[in-house]
């Protein structure tokens, strides 16, 4: 009995430390928050743009006084669909800066006024989709109107994230052109995928199915919700 108890204690210590290390590892990663939004009747993108001045002032104040920086992107889908008009993407440097941002936002009248104005123009899904970044490469200077490609991957048995990253690093389609490349791991559980392949680039891809086209489907199962396993957005930085 005593050896069994001792073994159980070892397992508890091991997994407890493992979870703590994993949690600390994630805390240092960039965080991507996707919100899926639609314009209310009678409103359009220009109306939202007119209200951004207060939001930009709030962001500028945070960076100037406290050194907090948050990147925001407006993702305009290049494909036809009815569920939403655009995606609002917030990118935080890490968990600590994300927490600090929301604490300041909660106590800022400027930010409250921005939220009030925004809510008159758009409806956004209250359930944000949150991902942690593993950066692969930064060799492209992103400009307004460039594209963000998002590819869905559910890793097959026997394959892991390191394998997928190594395949992206050496695949010709990703080497021959400049990209900002990352893989995003969801903070939430999804049945259909467990990794996003995230690319920033400056050209419209004719064949969106980069996963199948470039041999990554040996590691990724097909995502049935989208025929091409991917989405493409024309993207604008809000700064």
Q: Report if residue 153 sits inside a domain.
A: yes
**Does 37 lie in the same domain as 101?**
yes
What is the end-to-end Cα distance of the chain in Å, rounded? 63
The confidence score (pLDDT) of residue 10 equals 40
DSSP state letter for 206: S
13 by DSSP, 3-state: which? Answer: helix
What pLDDT is attached to residue 130?
Answer: 94
Distance CA 89, CA 130 (A): 10
Given 124, 157, 187, the domain boundary residue is: 124
Per residue in 163-221, pLDDT (tens digit) is: 888 888 877 666 666 678 899 999 887 778 889 989 888 766 655 666 666 667 778 88
Same domain flag for 116 and 74 = yes
Q: Which residues of the chain have pLDDT under 70?
A: 1-27, 172-178, 203-215, 223-228
Tell me the CATH number at 154: 3.30.70
Domain span at residue 209 reads 134-237
Is there a domain that residue 163 lies in? yes
Q: Is the CB of residue 216 less than 8 Å from the CB of residue 168?
A: yes
**68 in any annotated domain:** yes
Looking at residue 73, what is its pLDDT?
A: 95
Last residue of a domain, which of 68, 102, 124?
124
Structural domain total, the chain: 2
Q: Are residues 209 and 146 in the same domain?
A: yes
pLDDT value for 40: 96
């Amino acid at each position: 009995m005593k050896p069994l108890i001792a073994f159980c204690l070892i397992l508890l210590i091991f997994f407890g430390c493992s979870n703590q290390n994993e949690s600390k590892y994630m805390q240092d990663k960039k965080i991507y928050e996707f919100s899926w939004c639609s314009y209310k009747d009678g409103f359009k993108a220009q109306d939202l743009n007119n209200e951004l001045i207060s939001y930009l002032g709030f962001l500028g104040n945070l960076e100037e006084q406290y050194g907090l920086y948050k990147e925001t992107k407006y993702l305009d889908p290049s494909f036809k669909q009815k569920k939403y008009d655009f995606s609002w993407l917030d990118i935080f440097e890490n968990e600590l800066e994300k927490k600090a941002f929301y604490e300041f936002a909660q106590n800022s009248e400027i930010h409250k006024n921005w939220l009030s104005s925004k809510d008159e123009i758009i409806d956004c899904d209250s359930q944000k989709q949150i991902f942690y970044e593993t950066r692969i490469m930064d060799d492209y200077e992103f400009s307004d109107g460039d594209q963000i490609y998002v590819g869905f991957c559910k890793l097959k048995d026997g394959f892991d994230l390191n394998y997928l990253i190594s395949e992206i690093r050496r695949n010709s389609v990703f080497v021959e052109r400049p990209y900002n490349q990352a893989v995003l791991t969801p903070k939430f559980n999804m049945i259909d995928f467990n990794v996003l392949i995230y690319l920033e680039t400056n050209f419209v891809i004719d064949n969106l199915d980069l996963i199948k086209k470039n041999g990554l489907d040996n590691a990724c199962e097909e995502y049935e919700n989208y025929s091409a396993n991917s989405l493409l957005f024309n993207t604008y930085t809000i700064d």
